[in-house]
Chains A and B, each alone.
Chain A
């Protein structure tokens, strides 16, 4: 029996403790962490398990945010319905883009996804009539629960973390399923998969759709939570930030990725008083992680800690 067997109850307990004992600032950070986690978990399925890099994931986050907000604003449907609708739309976009993207590999795929992200961002900026352009659009209706609008961080906290837990559960099920096995095989040795009679492209497209849906749900909730959208948060910077979180968390470790999001978010909060050193720090951290901890910074630190503990135990005479 290890912590791993109790990870869900432990996580929920930790969240409940944070919810009742954290101050407003802490809770608002945790809400942002939850939203980023949703997108990062999807990216981890795509880049970590299936080994397909994406530098344009912010596009799906943006598509989710804008479609949900626009439908809720103009047709007046409750966000509870527009959020799943936006997820479906992002899924359709991924379904359409996937077969084109996955004709490419490696650097070419990275650049094509980067281009996709930039094209969506330019579209958000330039379609002034619909999206409000660089000025953005406000007045997005908030989510409400039996007539009470979920305006404050404390109100939305249980919802976002509930969604994160469900997404983790779904992802872990997917990874264990036969589909997940194919996915991991694609990530590990792509050329072997067709010899086993599985279609690599089909499983790549499937995981792209899933990760797009996760990102879109995150974006949609973000829009209704903030109440105002501008193209800024959906640029390539966010795509790269997501990749940083996934890389630090260890790519193909769902829980590690959540820890990566927590780590990066708190780090950037701590670095805020020091001005513009954030970029410098991210870069150094990324290079260090990639060279010395290919399985993720945090898991490597865990290994180092347990080795140190073992050495200490061996040294003390028993």
Chain B
């Protein structure tokens, strides 16, 4: 029983990371129609920047804040330079974002080499025993941050003027432009939000998982799987899908083989794509 609890907790933890990455996918996809294959690499850059700023003996909180802002700006630059000139072709969009990911990895290799880095835990202290399972304090940070971000995003989308404009563009960008919303600004906003979420996901997982130049790839693909499970383009779906994927992965690595754990996400991906392509909660209606 305590094994099961332990697995579910670690599944929830990993799942919230997938969910945050998945939300990053949806904020870009909803306003640009592009699936950003560099999403995981943004998370990696976020983590590596935070580690570097912390290494410059900045306080941890400031280092994190600075890194999140940097990645947001970086995402805006990517939109302006690589995505906006591109038009609407799906295949070219995919290839360009693969190219962006490759550049980010290249920058990480040139600047930081191929070795793995780690961030100290946000609060010190040993594992906390709960009902026979042990929980690292960082787990609470991850779950708490995720919940705060989700609620914040929900309030932003439903209460703020900018969030409403964003949703208008996601639902019908043509009509939104007619009533005077600047689509290009909203596209930049989509990338900035995606950069924020990606960077935060990368940073909060950095104390328990090592970060190196290519650690964004796997996390990015899993985030996409989370989107597909929950329903593509639907932020709540992405969060839900992430949690489901995280728990299923944790359970399968606990009770099946850990080697095949990586394949399970992709079997689920193909299964959902083929039999339930709209995901559990349904895709965003365009």
List chain A positions with a Cβ less than 8 A from chain B: 47, 51, 53, 55, 100, 103-104, 106-108, 110-112, 114-116, 118-119, 122-123, 125-126, 236, 240, 243, 247, 275-287, 290-291, 294
Tally of contact residues, B, Cβ under 8 A: 39
Q: Contact: A240 with B269, CB < 8 Å?
A: no
Let me know if A280 and B274 touch, CB within 8 A: no
Could you tell me if B96 and A291 are in contact, using CB atoms closer than 8 angstroms?
Answer: yes
Partner of B103, one of A112, A123, A280, A294: A280
Do residues B263 and A118 form an inter-chain contact, with CB atoms below 8 A?
yes
The CB with the most chain A CB atoms within 10 A, among B85, B102, B105, B107, is that of: B102
Main secondary structure of the interface of B (DSSP, over half): helix
Instruction: Confirm or deny: B182 has a beta carbon within 8 angstroms of a beta carbon on chain A.
Output: no
Is B99 at the interface (CB under 8 A from chain A)?
yes
Let me know if A112 and B92 touch, CB within 8 A. Answer: no
Q: CB distance A115 to B90 under 8 Å? A: no
Report Cα–Cα, A126/B257, bound state, in Å: 10
What's the least CB distance linking B59 to chain A, in Å? 32
Quick one: which of A55, A115, A284 contacts B99, CB cutoff 8 A? A284
CB atoms of A290 and B99 under 8 A apart: yes
- Other-chain contact of A118, B92, B106, B109, B262 (Cβ < 8 Å): B262
Q: Is the CB of A100 within 8 A of B96?
A: no
A114 to B269, CA, bound (A): 10
CB of A280 within 8 A of CB of B107, answer yes
Q: Which 7 pairs between the two chains have the least Cβ-Cβ distance? A: A280-B106, A286-B99, A283-B102, A283-B103, A279-B106, A115-B266, A276-B109
The answer, yes or no, to whether B100 is at the interface (CB within 8 Å) is yes
- A-side contacts of B99, CB under 8 Å: 282-287, 290
A112 in contact with B270 (CB, 8 Å):
yes
Pair B94/A110 contact, Cβ less than 8 Å: yes
Residue of A whose beta carbon sits closest to that of B217: A236
Task: Pick 8 A–B contacts, CB within 8 A, sort by A.
Answer: A103-B274, A107-B94, A111-B224, A112-B274, A276-B106, A283-B100, A287-B82, A290-B95
Would you give the shortest CB distance from B286 to chain A, in whole angstroms?
13
Contact with A along B66-110 (1 / 0, CB 8 A): 000000000000000010011000111011101111111111011
Complex formed: what's the CA distance from A71 to B257 in Å?
A: 28
Distance from A119 Cβ to chain B, minimum over Cβ atoms (Å): 5
Contact A122 B274 (CB under 8 A): no
Q: Any chain A CB within 8 A of the CB of B210?
A: no
With a CB–CB cut-off of 8 A, which chain B residues contact A236? Answer: 217
Q: Are B273 and A108 in contact (CB under 8 A)?
A: yes
B188 at the interface (CB under 8 A from A): no
Beta-carbon nearest neighbor of A286 in chain B: B99
CA distance A212 to B230 in the complex (A): 32
* Contact indicator per residue, chain B 266-286, by CB within 8 Å of chain A (1) or not (0): 110110011001000000000
Whose C-beta in chain A lies nearest to the C-beta of B41? A283
Q: Determine whether B2 belongs to the interface, using a CB cutoff of 8 Å to chain A.
A: no
Contact across chains for A277 and B106 when beta carbons are under 8 A apart: yes
Determine whether B255 belongs to the interface, using a CB cutoff of 8 Å to chain A.
Answer: no
Partner of B106, one of A55, A119, A281: A281
Min CB distance, B33 to chain A, in Å?
9
Residues of B within 8 A of A119 (CB): 263, 266-267, 270
